Amino acid sequence: MTDDSSGIDESRPSIARVYDYLLGGKDNFAVDREIGDFFLRDLPGSVAIAFANRRALVRAVGAMADAGIRRFIDLGSGLPTADNVHQVAQRHAPDAHVVYVDNDPMVLAHGRALLATDDRTAVVQADLREPETIRQDPDVRRLIDFDQPVGLLFSAILHHLNDEERPAELVRWWAERLPPGSLVYISHFRSGANEETRLAEHKLQDSFGRGRWRTDEEILGLFGDRLELLEPGLLPCRSWHPEPASGDGAAEVLADDGELTVWDRLIACGLARRP
């Protein structure tokens, strides 16, 4: 069923809504929950991927803001959840501006409702693969000063692009147009020689008809030669600048890779600088 007033097709699954369901959200439909339930039921523990990715994104935005970034573009942002990019950025820097970009009409509707009173934040409905359209959007032009360093976020989105869609060229397009001092964050599903990885990749490809897990070498290749990867490099999201132990069990506690599960190893991230 399609809601003609909003453009939302409830009969087709949405990447944004499946993530929303796995993160405990309520902005999803039965077709999305069917996919999410496969991971919860048949691949127990796999939901940790979504949470590890989200927590790493929060840490990355904080690191960007602490480094002086005041303008952020979140490409393939997904549905609003706890600790959204604008909330994290403005917690570190109250004057931060954030533009969310997604092609899901539900993201647009919910995001605009959430941000109705925030004139420093906007949601743009656009296709990730059309960067010039995004850059020329009126809200992007209003909020993002491309003469100043920009924080660009590709959080768990590039693995939904096939090789022929040239994700590395997409990152390079942006890198060539970002001013020096800009920061680019990428998180991405990793290939793994195990049954869990094979099943997870097959399920999402079968559900959405697209996407590819990539090796560490291929993920590093997405940053290209116009960006300098910052320490600690490309790591599983849970190991990337992990939160310190707090004693209450809430923080991520990782002494080394030996404590990572197969699911922890399935998604990696890195932060790079435009010199």
| CATH label of the domain that carries residue 47 | 3.40.50.150
- Per-residue pLDDT, 24: 87
Number of domains in the chain: 1
Q: Check residue 123 and give its pLDDT.
A: 93
pLDDT for 197: 84
* CB-count exposure of residue 163 (10 Å: 0-12, 13-18, 19+): exposed
Question: Is the pTM above the cut of 0.85?
Answer: yes
For the chain, the residue count is 275
Q: What is the pLDDT of residue 89?
A: 97
Tell me if residue 161 falls in helix, strand or coil. coil
Residue 30's pLDDT is 94
pLDDT the model gives residue 78:
87
Using alpha carbons only, what angle is made at residue 195 by residues 191 and 198, rounded to the nearest 5 degrees? 45
Angle ∠(245,249,255) on CA atoms, nearest 5: 40
CA 107 to chain centre: 14
Total Cβ atoms within 10 A of residue 256: 7
What pLDDT is recorded for position 243?
77
**pLDDT mean for each 10 residues of the chain (275 residues):** 56 86 88 91 88 96 98 92 90 96 86 80 94 97 97 97 96 98 97 86 88 95 97 97 58 50 93 98
Q: What is the distance between the alpha carbons of residues 157 and 77, in angstroms, rounded to a whole number?
A: 8
* Rounded (5°) CA angle 40-51-230: 140
Cα 231-176-179 angle, rounded to 5 deg: 70
Provide the 8-state DSSP code for 155.
E
Domain of 76 in residue numbering reads as: 2-273
Give the per-residue pLDDT at 140. 97
CB neighbour class for 51 (10 Å; exposed up to 12, middle 13-18, buried from 19): middle
Q: How far apart are CA 121 and CA 37, in angstroms?
A: 33
Q: Which amino acid is at 133?
A: T
